Structure 1
Amino acid sequence: MITNEQITAYNEAAISVLNGSAKNAKSRVKVFRVSQLIAQETIMESVDGLHLPESSRETSAMILMNVCCNKVVRPIDGSCCQPPSAPALTQKLAAGFFGLSIAGCLILHLVHRHGHRRSRPCADVEAGEEKKAAPAASACPSEVVLQSCCKLGLIMAYFYLCDRADLFMKENKFYTHSSFFTPIIYILVLGVFYNENTKETKVLNREQTEEWKGWMQLVILIYHISGASTFLPVYMHIRVLVAAYLFQTGYGHFSYFWIKGDFGIHRVCQVLFRLNFLVVVLCIVMDRPYQFYYFVPLVTVWFLVIYITLALWPQITQKKANGSCFWHLGLLMKLASLLVCICFLAYSQGAFEKIFSLWPLSKCFEMNGNVYEWWFRWRLDRYVVFHGMLFAFIYLALQKRQVLSEGKGEPLLPNKMSNVLLFVSVVSFLTYSVWASSCKTKAECNELHPAVSVVQILAFILIRNIPGYARSVYSSFFAWFGKISLELFICQYHIWLAADTRGILVLIPGNPMLNITVSTFIFVCVAHEISRITNDLAQILIPKESAALWKRLACMAGFFSALLLLSSIRGEHRR
């Protein structure tokens, strides 16, 4: 009889013979041991208990081909057995910088600890009490920068190990309806459970917008990890959520400039720094182009468009207009000019590509050697930022004229009008869902998406804000995630998903539920810490004093020029 014990003995004898005469390690024979493990898992599917099923052979062949072929083919999904790429020059420089930051932070900690020991308070013999130590002085800006760089260096090391080294496994995504809808039900229940009263009851107040960002970001994360992009109705609804983020960009920045009238360089630098800091660091550490993190370039460009549109002469603000129809008409003409420019670029791909193919813009917006991907992303939601600006203008004008009732518990509009608008909003929601389910191809849906997405966004705003009781409460659970929504969106690329979002990171093999729980906990903690680091550095690196700010900008310009030069040299070397 051929038993498992005899098979193991035969294998050991064969291995000893094959490798017994080997003079060095390079000539040793590699044994494909995984087939035995596969057999142990699939023998229960055997018909007679002796011969292995077909699935055993297919799985063994798949793994063998992965081992032999993936290092050459380099598939774009989360397949195994791909050796890590050699680090680029920028990655080596980043490693050196973060290494020095960590070493400097450790030295600073030891110096402070030694100084603290030497300055311990002595016991006052006469009073019989210990003298109280003087309160510790707050950390100076240079120490805060050093500590932030140290923490960021440790976080970036984790990013690199997760998605560039071969330390952790990756697995592919397989979509099922339960893998997408079940987690969404869980988070909705949690969100409803953590209800609190808002500090103010205005339309789209701070708590409400943070809540909006939070639940949208959680849904988008579930969409990405479940691979739901293959299911067209879900894909179209997620496209509306992305458009809603851009709508908030138009609404929020227009409202700030219109009310505050602050067009100074400090505000611009603060916003650009907060939006782009993490992405720029990841571009260097992970060796990816800026356009790879497409949403951040999209929001950045739209912010600059809003700023330029409103900052150009004549600068029209709420204080300047002060109810004057002339100035309101002037602002509407500015918005109309912006809409004309958007339409021109949307239907003139050649002009769009010529603008963004100019150096140095090309270095920021090229993907695989061209800017088509950037044009496609921009064109997909081309009108929604304009709609956000127009909505903000109309809403603030109505608010100024005291047309709206924004008191606690009060309906936003008269009862009849409120009921009609709520009915229309609900019908538009249902109509869009029916249309998204009947749409046949992504190309067909994407063509109509720019025109119909704003209807869904406005319907949500009306449903959320017309009833006074709905406007007076918010979910603190969703709002907490909304405060770090940008970091969550960016960090998912490498430390929650893997293989540049095409796979799923596996920290704990063999236990999917425990793995996703642990990786999600680390992912959220990292995103929260990066948000704090970004805020701390923004306060220090972007000072309010004009002279100091221009010096910092000159240093940053030199840094980015060197970075673009290194990128150009590397690109030429690759060609």
Structure 2
Amino acid sequence: MENAALSGGQMACSMLFGTAIITYLGLEISRLRVLMRDGVDPASRHVASKHSEPLAWTFPSLYAFFRDVAALGLVLLVAFMCEKYPLFPRGEKSWDGDMYWFLCLLLLVASVMTMRKGKCTDILNRDQTEEWKGWMQFMFLLYHYYKAEEVYNAIRIMITCYVWMTGFGNFSFFYIKQDFGVVRFLQMLWRLNFLVILLCLSQGNTYILYYICPLHTFYFLLVYATMRVLPKHNHGKWDVRFKLLGVGLLIYAAWDLFEGEVFKVLFSPFLSTAPVIGAKAGTLWEWYFRTSLDHWSTLLGMIFALNFPMATRWLTKLEEQSLGEQVRVKGLTGLCVAAPFLWWVWEIFPRPKLEYNLTNAYFGFIPLLAYIFFRNLTPGLRAWHSALLHDIGKVTLETYLMQHHVWLTSNAKTLLVLVPGFPKCNLVVVSVIFVFLSRQTFYITMSLRGMVLPDDRRRCVTGAVATLILLGALLGLGWVFTEVGAGFPAAVFVSAVAAMVLLALIHRHLNLNLWGQARHGPSGSGGLTGLRAPSSPESVISLGRVLCTLALTTCLLSLPLRHLSSGAQNGQNSGGSGLVMTPAEAGGKAQKLAVTGQPSSYAAMATTPCLALLNEMGAWSKGGNEWMWNREGEMKCGFRGFDQGALRALYSERETVIMGDSLGRKYYFSLLAGLGSPAPEANNTEAKVHQDLGWEGAKEEKMDISFLWRPYAKDVVEEIQLWEEAGRKPDLVVLSFGLWDTLHNTPAADFEATLETLNQVLKTMDEDAGGDGKVAVGASSKSTPGILRLWMMPTTIVDSKLLTADKQERMTEARVATVRRRTYESLVQGGGVQAVLDGRIVSRGQEERSLDGVHYDDPVYDALMQMGTNALVLWEKSGGGDEMKDKSKEVAIEGAGRARRAWRQRFLFEVDARPSEDIADWEPWISEPHGGHEGLHSIQWARRLQDGIAVNRTLASGVGIGGASPSISPQSLKSKEVDGSMSSPTHGAIILAVLLVMLFTMDSYFGASIVGRLLARSSLVITWEEAYEPLLSKLLRPPSHSGSAGQSCVKAAQQLGCDDSNTTRRGRSKHNT
């Protein structure tokens, strides 16, 4: 573990939870000592307590606190090890329709068998809402596990329901309890963000990756602000309705008008266009995309909650009528609700994913309200619920977060494998572990909330401030350790020292007499002589906890040693020190190769010195997240990182071709991202990957960048021969091949013959281009370098992470090393290419970030792309290619002139957008409803507009970017052009009209119940006074009656599904947001 680079956040988590685990073990041993000596449990008050009491300086309280923190630390350690150091290679997601629907039917049967009748028959009672969340969460998780693209639209609706419930539940709480204090506010923020912040720190991820948490937090703040402003008007007949209408107008302006310009003004000060983990196009676009999908849902939930007394009274009064009256009114109202639902099913629901995304915010409420109406149609339907689904629904937040790393891995992109070769058995095993950890995390989170943020205002604020100070101090210390190169041992040392100090303070303050006489034992039996065998159940459990904690911690921390051992073995098989030696090491061995067949030195064979040093003058930062050029490379050769403006200037008026296998495609995506136009297919596991891709910049830039899928060496030869016949002369060619030749057992003799042919046709390109005869890097003879040709050497293969049996057998590091050697001998020594981009050097030390043993996280390819760009600049300076345009040359050199520029994880540069570009410089992409970023198969045909942020975009699915026509027809898009955003002023206006109907008719079902009553010619009329005055008379009762009013509030809150009663000892709260 000491060789694994930890970030500052990971160091902070190591110190925090390391201290907690050691302190807990000390307290548990102290408890066991007292139990064995006196037969009295010092933590008995905690064990017998039914609630999480505020943290206090007593043994039971401290024992409970450190036990919960230690348990949470072990859960996060399990998640970290599953993510970073899995026991077995990760599994690939694959669609299995039979298994998917079998599990859905199995859930249906189990749900019916666990039906229970509750006491409450109110609309959306607590049992019913938990059941609702439960079955949606089950479908949501299966969707991720089986990559069930077929049910995407249904999953999208389920997320809409979650956001709707945020508005409904929180509005109900504030309306009933009128509690806008800091306690409620902090407790809610804790519930939504405590676990996700710890996951961000421990996993090194960004907040936006777990997008559900920021989404619900934002909409909670929206509800809070709405009810907190002018709270005296929250209970007026019309005041609160006009307030909600004002909120609707603000939402309409921010998301539906001016093509997102208002949204940009509101959020751009807080969000960035720089790509990060979880937001390839930047957090600003990602946040716009996520919020746009459901920007009306929370407000619709608030309005439903406001109209809830009317809906309840209408249903209650109707069910007092005759059966015939009930059937007639409910039937006609049901038809009025079902009619728009059937229209939605016929017209909206079947649309392709990308087109459907543009409609969800405006029509997603239709199936939602239809479900509520028919689910609550009769008292029997309202009373019964499934206990199984109810239990699943209580831990939806924890299951959403933990699935990224325990059920799935690679941030939900791959499957966790614990039973290799048996996928169904593996599903059962990992599911049991996943559910257990999720439930325990829920209980721990709620229990800690009760201790750290109790209902007492002073203690709550003190706990919040102390938590922030502690976390800030640990992050600062972790950052210092990272900067000075102190690794995991430093965190262990700090944890041990801190735990010893804490235990000493606890024992001294509480005056624990651990080694004195037994209080109830024989006279004179002190020290160890007073101990008894741990025969009582409490003693056995306590001893078991100590042993299990030690064993689990030891086993988990041993996993990195296994991986490091595996990596060392790979290094031995591959030649140990790597591909490139320093010039001093190379000595006079220019033509010698290592035992593994890898080139011993580029520098020894170079006649263009800086190009030869391209792979030797950079290294990863201490934290492993930044690739940086060293000072010698900057001073002697001018190596640097290029920002967006410099890249655009440098690649303008050029044709760049990246040709080869998936490594070349990764290089292509990194280049587009650096240019400010991240490709939507970059992280799209559903897009067709074995195909050509193309992209052109703005017209004035005349930029042509393409990727050609040519995975075999012979494919590359055939393509270049076609260029020769057609007279095609690109300015820059980047080659990457060999992996498929290795995987599919291309005969060695055939491969070597193909390489010789390739070397000749590459040199022929120079002859056709009419170069000036300068000597290339590694060339044995002079060649005319009019076209810069680069070979990207395959990255390190991590054998232990290869996913499939054929790769584990035939695509090992040892076999790929042979391909590297043969290619180097033919193309580099033979003069076919002018420089090498050494993927093995760049991927060295990054093995734990390999997703599948072959491919790595984006920073690796971003670093290779920057190397290639530096090679292009050096090539230009040496006069190797055509003269650059004056403007391009000035901008490129000036923009690249900042010394020691580091680029950040996943994307290496900040977007330096000009005012007229901004959002238009990124090509918006539409992603999945989860943090894994799968299924981004969209086409956006982008053109930059000089006077705004709009980007014209036509949506298609399953194809790449470039000259091909979109596969989706104008007719399927209703001949509508989507202008640079997901906004629709027309659809937004329709929603505003629906809001007006719901607000001022006071009907929860967009006026359907009123229409149904009119059609039935029923005399059933509900007035506002009839529905609200009994409730408001209790809520607004004078303070002298506060006791009974408080009980009435609790009852009303329970009916509205927002009871927030105190957390029990194990964190079981009736309110689970």
Same fold, TM-score > 0.5, yes or no: yes
Contact map agreement 1:412 1:466 (CA 8 A) in 2 = no
Q: Percent identity?
A: 28
Deviations 1:197-242 (A, max 9, x none): 112000000000000000100011111111012x2xx111111111
- C-alpha displacement of 1:254: 0.8
Alignment of 1:414-425 (within 5 A): 414-425=326-337
Contact map agreement 1:171 1:504 (CA 8 A) in 2 = yes
Other structure's SS at 2:283 match: coil
Q: In the alignment, is residue 343 of structure 1 matched against residue 252 of structure 2?
A: yes
- C-alpha displacement of 1:358: 2.7
**CA distance in 2 between partners of 1:391 and 1:488 (Å):** 27
1:384 aligned residue: 297
**CA distance in 2 between partners of 1:412 and 1:111 (Å):** 71
Contact map agreement 2:183 2:453 (CA 8 A) in 1 = yes
2:123 aligned residue: 203
**Could you tell me the TM-score, scaled by structure 2's length?**
0.41
Deviations 1:444-484 (A, max 9, x none): 21111111110100000001001221111111110000111
In the alignment, residue 338 of structure 1 is paired with which amino acid? V
Other structure's SS at 1:170 match: coil
- C-alpha displacement of 1:314: 3.7
Residue from 2, 5, 13 that aligns with 1:94:
13
Other structure's SS at 1:474 match: strand
- C-alpha displacement of 1:555: 2.8
In the alignment, residue 81 of structure 2 is paired with which amino acid? L
Alignment of 1:373-412 (within 5 A): 373-399=286-312, 404-405=316-317
Deviations 1:290-326 (A, max 9, x none): 1100011101110010011001114344xxx3xxxxx
2:35 aligned residue: 116
1:457 aligned residue: 368
1:330 aligned residue: 239
**CA distance in 1 between partners of 2:84 and 2:187 (Å):** 31
Other structure's SS at 1:140 match: helix
Deviations 1:326-361 (A, max 9, x none): x12110111011111111111353332343333589
In the alignment, residue 252 of structure 1 is paired with which amino acid? G
In the alignment, residue 382 of structure 2 is paired with which amino acid? R
Cα pair distance change 1:435/1:507, threshold 3 Å: farther
Deviations 1:498-551 (A, max 9, x none): 111111111110111110000000000000000100110010111222222222
Cα pair distance change 1:494/1:467, threshold 3 Å: same
Alignment of 1:89-488 (within 5 A): 89-120=8-39, 136-138=44-46, 140-229=60-149, 231=150, 234-317=151-234, 321=235, 327-347=236-256, 348=258, 349-359=260-270, 367-368=279-280, 369-399=282-312, 404-405=316-317, 414-436=326-348, 438-439=350-351, 441-488=352-399
- C-alpha displacement of 1:438: 3.8
In the alignment, residue 343 of structure 1 is paired with which amino acid? Y
Cα pair distance change 1:213/1:406, threshold 3 Å: farther
Task: Count how many residue pairs are aligned between Structure 1 and Structure 2.
Answer: 468
**CA distance in 1 between partners of 2:220 and 2:359 (Å):** 24
1:44 aligned residue: none
Other structure's SS at 1:358 match: coil
Contact map agreement 2:17 2:70 (CA 8 A) in 1 = yes
2:647 aligned residue: none
Other structure's SS at 1:196 match: strand
- C-alpha displacement of 1:489: 1.1
**CA distance in 2 between partners of 1:152 and 1:410 (Å):** 56
Contact map agreement 2:272 2:284 (CA 8 A) in 1 = no
2:747 aligned residue: none
Larger radius of gyration: 2
In the alignment, residue 329 of structure 1 is paired with which amino acid? W
2:975 aligned residue: none
Deviations 1:23-77 (A, max 9, x none): xxxxxxxxxxxxxxxxxxxxxxxxxxxxxxxxxxxxxxxxxxxxxxxxxxxxxxx
**CA distance in 2 between partners of 1:166 and 1:146 (Å):** 28
Other structure's SS at 2:439 match: helix
1:516 aligned residue: 427
| Bigger mean CA deviation after superposition, 561-570 or 259-268 | 561-570
Other structure's SS at 1:172 match: coil
Q: CA RMSD of the aligned region, Å? A: 3.1
2:769 aligned residue: none
Contact map agreement 2:271 2:283 (CA 8 A) in 1 = no
**Could you tell me the TM-score, scaled by structure 1's length?**
0.75
Show structure 2 runs of 5+ residues with no match: 47-58, 484-624, 627-901, 909-1073
**CA distance in 2 between partners of 1:237 and 1:166 (Å):** 32
Contact map agreement 1:225 1:504 (CA 8 A) in 2 = yes
**CA distance in 1 between partners of 2:152 and 2:63 (Å):** 46
Question: Larger % of helix: which?
Answer: 1
**CA distance in 1 between partners of 2:223 and 2:93 (Å):** 38
Contact map agreement 1:425 1:463 (CA 8 A) in 2 = no
Cα pair distance change 1:255/1:388, threshold 3 Å: same
1:505 aligned residue: 416
1:555 aligned residue: 466
Cα pair distance change 1:219/1:135, threshold 3 Å: closer
Cα pair distance change 1:361/1:206, threshold 3 Å: farther
**CA distance in 2 between partners of 1:483 and 1:541 (Å):** 22
| Bigger mean CA deviation after superposition, 532-541 or 555-564 | 555-564
